[in-house]
């Protein structure tokens, strides 16, 4: 049952089952849309124990227990086999997937590119990408219909082309977008083989399609690396972007440089996680604003005021815009669920956890949990304004994870989303089409299942800087 007052806007979500699902029903819903598996009791109880065919599972939404799993005792809770299988498809040697000393080495090596000073220096390229999309939409004429979700993936790819890989991604951005969509659709499915613990080398449905997609990505990435390396042979100093760091920067602690496989996996990690999650965040933010005239007007007023001064601190001044984005991340977190495995026996709250147990923490459920949020299903960005944010429990809001493995690119993503959203809300009226069926679909990331068809009209505004 939705937790909303009559005056609230509660965005659509799959109806939760009222009781526990049997194994066959669970498999059916997991394959169709894992969001359909979260029963109503999980939104009310802090920790729920479930029985899977070969192990116990604990669905954990108690902030203290989350802190124990992801922070205090994180070494006892590595990624489980299901999550490792999902992330192994092209990302197995990158920061998102590696464990132990390999992860520590990569994290140290990659951290400088996401330092605050570096991220804020990308303000102007992010503005350029946003204004290029605005110019494209302007040429389409008033009342044109666009799939906003698809165009958000294009603008975030363009941001990567202008900042992270300053030589460009290469090839056709729309072709790359469609390949990325296919990639997430295949690797994001959880089936019976996963739940039964069948080794990952046993092919899953869609395996052949995934191999073709990975071959495409590898060809694009190899071309990016080859182009850069040939350029370095001619010029002593190339651009200071992420690719340059991957190619030339040693681990500050050991002096070891990333291998070719690690470079490729990390490039794919940032091309996928670095644009898909931000694109979805932008799509959900635009959708939510289209249903809230009050907050749309507040974002527009802030954008018209602050975009006139496009300095490096621009994103810091977009306070209302970022509150909207963070509320969109609460309602539609990019990563809807994460899982861990208990290496050794432990206790979470009043429950004994056996070695080998599966621990599931679902930000999608956590962010709507009845114990933790007032009007938990309502769209209310005021929760994230500076005067209110301190009331949110530290481990009740995890859009970027928490602890040692918190998302390294979170500040980059928030800055990018705030700048793009401000430009588009300043420049356009965006109206959801009457027939649009907007429903969240979990395929690793949380995306609009049927896109986001909207009619766009240019606002009559003054000349842009």
pLDDT digits 0-9 by tens, 259-270: 877 888 888 777
C-alpha span between 180 and 269 (Å, rounded): 11
pLDDT tens-digit map of 149-161? 999 998 998 888 7
The whole-number pLDDT of residue 245 equals: 72
Q: What mean pLDDT do residues 272-292 have?
A: 91
Tell me: pLDDT of 457 over 70.
yes
Q: What span, in angstroms and rounded, lies between the C-alpha atoms of 355 and 366?
A: 24
Over residues 89-99, the pLDDT tens digits come to 556 677 777 77
Mean pLDDT of 205-214: 69
Q: Is the pLDDT of residue 200 over 80?
A: no
Neighbours of 215 (CB within 10 A): 10
pLDDT of residue 372: 96
In angstroms, rounded to a whole number, what is the distance separating the alpha carbons of residues 322 and 359?
31
- Residue 196: is its pLDDT beyond 60? no
Query: Is the domain 23-458 a CATH 3.40.250.10 member?
Result: no
Q: Is the pLDDT of residue 274 over 80?
A: no
Count CB-CB contacts under 10 A for residue 221. Answer: 22
The model carries a pTM of 0.87
CB 174 within 8 Å of CB 251: no
Residue 71 has pLDDT above 50, yes or no: yes
What residues does each domain of the chain span? 23-458
pLDDT grade for 465, boundaries at 50, 70 and 90? very low
Q: Work out whether the CA dihedral 2, 280, 316, 266 comes out positive or negative.
A: positive
Which one is predicted more confidently, 324 or 224? 324
| Residue 50 backbone dihedrals phi, psi, to 5 degrees | -125, 160
> Does the pLDDT at position 195 exceed 90?
no
Give the integer Cα–Cα distance in Å for 188 and 447: 12
At 243, the pLDDT band (50, 70, 90 cuts) reads confident
**363 and 333 Cβ atoms separated by less than 8 Å:** yes
pLDDT at residue 373 in the model: 96
451: three-class secondary structure by DSSP: strand
Dist. CA 436–CA 332, nearest whole Å: 18
Average pLDDT, the chain: 84
Residues β-bridged to residue 145: 455
Among 459, 460, 281, 263, smallest CA distance to 363 is for 281
Q: Which of 251-255, 277-281, 438-442, 461-465 has the lowest mean pLDDT?
A: 461-465
Higher pLDDT: 21 or 75? It is 75
Q: Which residue has the higher pLDDT, 167 or 114?
A: 114
Report the pLDDT value the prediction gives residue 231, as an integer from 0 to 100. Answer: 62
Q: How confident is the model at residue 347 (pLDDT cuts 50, 70, 90)?
A: very high
> What confidence tier does 463 reach under pLDDT thresholds 50, 70, 90?
very low
Bridging pattern class, strands 346-348 and 351-353: antiparallel
Examine the pLDDT at 205 and tell me if it is beyond 60. Answer: no
158 neighbors 451 (Cβ within 8 angstroms): no
Q: 309-318 burial, b for 16+ CB within 10 Å, e for fewer? A: ebeeebbebb
Q: What is the pLDDT of residue 340?
A: 92
**Distance between CA atoms of 458 and 54, rounded to whole angstroms?**
57
- Of the chain, the percentage scoring pLDDT greater than 70 comes to 84
Instruction: Please state, in angstroms and rounded to a whole number, the distance separating the CA atoms of residues 318 and 304.
Output: 11
- Round to the nearest angstrom and report the end-to-end CA distance of the chain: 47
Instruction: Say what percent of the chain tops pLDDT 90.
Output: 46
401 burial via Cβ count (<10 Å: 0-12, 13-18, 19+): middle
CA-to-CA distance for 136 and 150, rounded, in angstroms?
14
Query: For position 433, what pLDDT does the model report?
Result: 96
Determine the pLDDT at residue 2. 59
């Amino acid at each position: 049952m939705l937790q909303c007052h009559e005056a609230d806007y509660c965005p659509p979500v799959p109806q939760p089952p009222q009781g526990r699902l049997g194994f066959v029903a669970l498999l059916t819903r997991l394959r169709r849309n894992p969001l359909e598996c979260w029963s109503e009791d999980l939104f009310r109880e802090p920790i729920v124990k479930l029985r899977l065919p070969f192990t116990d599972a604990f669905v954990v939404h108690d902030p203290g227990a989350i802190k124990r799993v992801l922070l205090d005792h994180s070494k006892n809770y590595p990624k489980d086999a299901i999550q490792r299988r999902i992330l192994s498809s092209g990302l197995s040697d990158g920061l998102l997937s590696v464990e132990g000393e390999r992860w520590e080495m990569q994290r140290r090596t990659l951290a400088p590119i996401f330092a605050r000073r570096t991220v804020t220096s990308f303000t102007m390229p992010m503005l350029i990408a946003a204004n290029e999309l605005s110019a494209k939409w302007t040429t389409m004429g008033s009342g044109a219909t666009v799939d906003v979700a698809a165009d958000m993936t294009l603008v975030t790819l363009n941001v990567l082309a202008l900042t992270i890989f300053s030589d460009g991604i290469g090839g056709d951005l729309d072709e790359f977008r469609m390949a990325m969509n296919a990639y997430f659709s295949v690797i994001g499915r959880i089936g019976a083989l996963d739940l039964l613990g069948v080794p990952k080398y046993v092919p899953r449905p869609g395996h052949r399609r995934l191999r073709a997609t990975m071959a495409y990505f590898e060809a694009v990435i190899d071309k990016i690396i080859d182009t850069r390396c040939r350029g370095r042979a001619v010029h002593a100093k190339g651009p200071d972007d992420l690719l340059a760091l991957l190619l030339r920067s040693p681990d500050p602690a050991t002096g070891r440089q990333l291998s070719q496989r690690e470079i490729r996996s990390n490039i794919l990690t940032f091309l996928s996680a670095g644009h898909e999650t931000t694109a979805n965040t932008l799509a959900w933010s635009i959708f939510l604003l289209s249903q809230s005239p009050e907050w749309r007007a507040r974002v527009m007023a802030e954008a018209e005021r602050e975009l006139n001064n496009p300095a490096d601190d621009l994103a810091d001044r977009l306070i209302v815009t970022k509150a909207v984005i963070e509320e969109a991340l609460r309602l539609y977190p990019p990563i809807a669920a994460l899982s861990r495995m208990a290496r050794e026996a432990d206790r979470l709250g009043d429950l004994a956890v056996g070695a080998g147990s599966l621990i599931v923490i679902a930000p999608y459920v956590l962010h709507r949990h009845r114990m933790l949020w007032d009007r938990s299903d309502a769209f209310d960005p005021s929760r994230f304004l500076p005067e209110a944010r301190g009331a949110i429990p530290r481990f009740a809001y995890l859009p970027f994870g928490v602890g040692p493995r918190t998302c390294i690119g979170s500040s980059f993503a928030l800055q990018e989303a705030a700048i793009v959203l401000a430009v588009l809300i300043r420049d356009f009226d965006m109206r959801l089409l009457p027939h649009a069926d907007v429903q969240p679909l979990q395929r690793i990331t949380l995306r609009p299942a049927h896109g986001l068809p909207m009619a766009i009209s240019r606002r009559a505004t003054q000349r842009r800087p």
